[in-house]
Amino acid sequence: MAMAEPEFRATGVRIERWPRSLTKAGQVLIKDGRLQLLTSYGRVIDSAPVRAVRAGKAWFSDESSTALTVNGKRYRLTMGQRDERADAGKLTGRFLKAVRRAGGTGG
């Protein structure tokens, strides 16, 4: 039986939990109705059912950033590296749509 493809996957994501950065090259994965924030080595930072996740545009940030609440903890995700910022806004939009589709409350 083939494994289901993730609804969303992004690598090279800066994951911050104010006031510090947790990883500069993390991963965000939405699969089987669950969101996972991972380090670049695949270690789980946080995980929750997507329906329990709140996501939206980050205030006072460029279009590549997303504000995220997982298990009551607030995170800021920044998609793409500096030289990829033009595409990062599109990636952020895809992420927010994937959260909504999977049952979360995207902004």
Instruction: Write down the pLDDT at residue 58.
Output: 75
Kindly report, residue by residue over 3-32, the tens digit of the pLDDT: 678 889 999 999 999 889 999 999 999 999
- Identify the pLDDT of residue 15: 96
Residues of the chain with pLDDT under 70: 1-3, 81-86, 104-107
pLDDT given at position 82:
55
Looking at residue 67, its pLDDT comes to 92
Q: How far is CA 72 from CA 6, 53, 69, in A?
A: 24, 9, 6
Domains of the chain plus CATH, in order, are 8-106 (2.30.29.30)
Per-residue pLDDT, 6: 84
Which residues have CB under 8 Å from 74's CB, separation 6+?
17, 18, 67, 68
